[in-house]
Amino acid sequence: MDKEKTGLISSSDLWGVIQNLHLEGQISKEQVSTIIKEVGAYGSGKIHYSEFIAATMDAKNLLTDQRVHELFYRL
C-alpha cells in the first residue's frame, strides 16, 4: 500500500488498494478521504502505518480475558 516506502499512507494509496480489491461499490473515494482525515493525527493528509493498523484492529479479539490476565500479571 505504501508505494513510496515512507511509512505513510495517502488517500490515493488506500483508494488504489480498494480499486485493486474491486471494493469501489462498498466504499467511495470521498469516504477514503474522510478516513484519512479522521485517522491521521498530524493533519498531513496521510496516516502513519501504525495509525492504520490501530484503526483497523478489532479490540475484542485482542483484549480477551486471558490476554488481559497475562498482561496484568507480567507487569
Q: Where exactly are the structural domains of the chain?
A: 8-74
* Nearest to 17, CA basis, from 1, 35, 33: 1
- What residues are paired with 47 via a beta bridge? 9
Grid look-up 482525515 returns: 37
Grid coordinates belonging to 51: 495509525
Q: Does domain 8-74 have CATH number 3.40.220?
A: no
Please calculate the CA angle 16-24-53 and round it to the nearest 5 degrees.
Answer: 55
Contact call for residues 10 and 46 (beta carbons, < 8 A): yes
User: Model pTM?
Assistant: 0.66
Segment 15-72, tens digit of pLDDT: 998 999 999 999 899 999 988 888 887 777 898 888 888 777 766 666 677 777 776 7
Grid look-up 470521498 returns: 30
- Distance of alpha carbon 55 from alpha carbon 69, whole angstroms: 24
